[in-house]
Amino acid sequence: MQILKKQPPALNIRAGHLARQLIEKEGLHASQVDTLPGAAGGPKGIGIQGLDQAIFGNFLAQSPQRRTVIGSSIGSWRFASILAWEAKDGTEKLSDLYTNLHFTNKMSREEVGDICRNMLLELIQGKEQQLVEHPNYHLTVLSVKSQHIFQSDKALPLLASVAGIVSSNAIARKHNRLFMQRVISQPNIGEQFKVEDDFVTHYQTLNHDNILAWLMASASIPGVMSAVRNIPNAPQGSYRDGGLIDYHIDLPFQSKGIVLYPHFTDSITPGWFDKMLKNRKSNPENQARTLLLSPSQEYLASLPLGRLPDRKDFTLKGLDQSKRIQLWKQSISESQRLGDEFLEMIEKQNFAEFMYDL
C-alpha cells in the first residue's frame, strides 16, 4: 500500500493578540474584516496573486461592506487593479503587465518612469471614478513628501539625502522626518483614515484628476524614478515612494474587527530603511488586530527561483527576458495554492491549529 506524503503548508499564519482571541472564539468570517494593508515590495506583490484572488474574489464577497484598503507602492497598485477590474481580472491584468515589462541597467530615471506610467495607464485609465467611488472599498494611497535636499533628483543631493536618512534612521526611526513626511491620499467619502505618530502626515483628497499621479508617486523609488511633481490639487513638492516611511505599513489601524493582511513575508518591517536593522520590529499594538497571511518557507523553496519574483530579476546576470518571464509566470501560477489553502482553512475554520503570534 502506497502512503501519500502530506504536502507541507503553503501559508504562514500569524496573528496579533486581539485577532487571535477573536478567531479562537468565533472563527474567521468575512464580516469581521474591515481593513486590508498592502506592502511595498515590487514584483513580490504579484507573487501572491492567488491569495489576493481568494480573499477579494471569494472570501470578502461573502459579506460586501465598506472596507479600507491601504497600500504603498505595489500594494496600492494591487488594490487599484482589484477595484478597477474586480479580483480575478484585476490581479491577472496587473501580473501580466508587470511580468512583460523590460528594464535594463542603462535606462534613465525618465525612461523607467515612462514605462511604469504607461503600465499604470493600461491598468486604470477610464476606471478612475470607480476607484474613487467604489461602494465596497475605501482606497488609501501612501506616499512621502520629500524635504530639503531630498526634493532633488540630482545625483549628489540624492546620495547625500540617502546617507543622511540611513544615519539618522539608525539612531531612531522618527529622525526620518528630517527628510520626508507622510502623505495619505483617499477619497473624501466614507470614514477617513487618520494617523498620529512621530511623522508629519499630510492628507490629500483622491479624485478623478489626481489618482494616477498619487499612484505614481506611491511607487516612485528614489534614484530609479524621478519624484512626482505638479500633482493636481496638491501643494508643490517632490513626492516619492510610500514604502520609504511605510514599507510594510506598521500603522495604528482603526479596525474594530480584523485587519486581514495578505503579505509576501511573515514579518512586518516599518520603513524601507529599517530592512538594514534586524531589531527594528513592528509595534505590537498597531498589529493587535492583524491576521498576517504569507507564503511558508517550504512553499517559497518549491518555486522555480526558490523565492518570489524580485525587481533584481530584470537585470540578474544569467537570466534573460524570456527566461525571467517564464519563471515569473510559473511562480504566479503556483500562487493559486496559497489561495486554495486559505479557502480550505475558511471552510474548516481550523486557523487556531496554525496560528502563531505576530
210-266 residue pLDDT tens = 999 999 999 999 999 999 999 999 999 999 999 999 999 999 999 999 999 999 999
- Distance CA(140)–CA(163), nearest Å, equals 30
- In which band, very low, low, confident or very high, does the pLDDT at 337 lie, cut at 50, 70 and 90? very high
Mean pLDDT of 324-330: 97
Asked if residue 3 has pLDDT above 90, the reply is no
Asked if residue 1 has pLDDT above 80, the reply is no
- Distance CA(189)–CA(305), nearest Å, equals 43
Q: Which of 21, 18, 88, 95 minimizes the C-alpha distance to 55?
A: 88
Kindly write down the DSSP assignment for every residue of 315-334, as one continuous string: G-TT--HHHHHHHHHHHHHH
The model's pLDDT over 24-67, given as tens digits with 9 standing for 90+, comes to 999 999 999 999 999 999 999 999 999 999 999 999 999 999 99
Asked if residue 336 has pLDDT above 60, the reply is yes
Average pLDDT, the chain: 96
CA-to-CA separations, 174 to 31, 167, 252, in angstroms, rounded? 35, 12, 15
Asked if residue 4 has pLDDT above 70, the reply is no
282, 283, 287, 293: CA torsion to nearest 10: 10
- Cβ distance 143 to 239 under 8 Å? yes
The model's pLDDT over 177-194, given as tens digits with 9 standing for 90+, comes to 999 999 999 999 999 999
Q: In angstroms, how far apart are the furthest CA atoms of the chain?
A: 72
- Distance CA(53)–CA(292), nearest Å, equals 16
- Distance CA(134)–CA(156), nearest Å, equals 43
First to last CA, the chain: 41
Question: What grid cell was written down for 132?
Answer: 474613487
- Cβ distance 83 to 130 under 8 Å? yes
Residue 261 is predicted with a pLDDT of 98
Share of the chain above pLDDT 90, in %: 96
- The distance of Cα 266 from the centroid of its chain, to the nearest Å, equals 14
Residue 2 is predicted with a pLDDT of 53
- Cβ distance 233 to 149 under 8 Å? no
The model's pLDDT over 169-179, given as tens digits with 9 standing for 90+, comes to 999 999 999 99
Residue 28 is predicted with a pLDDT of 98
Residue 5 is predicted with a pLDDT of 58
Asked if residue 285 has pLDDT above 90, the reply is yes
- Tell me, what amino acid is at 164? G
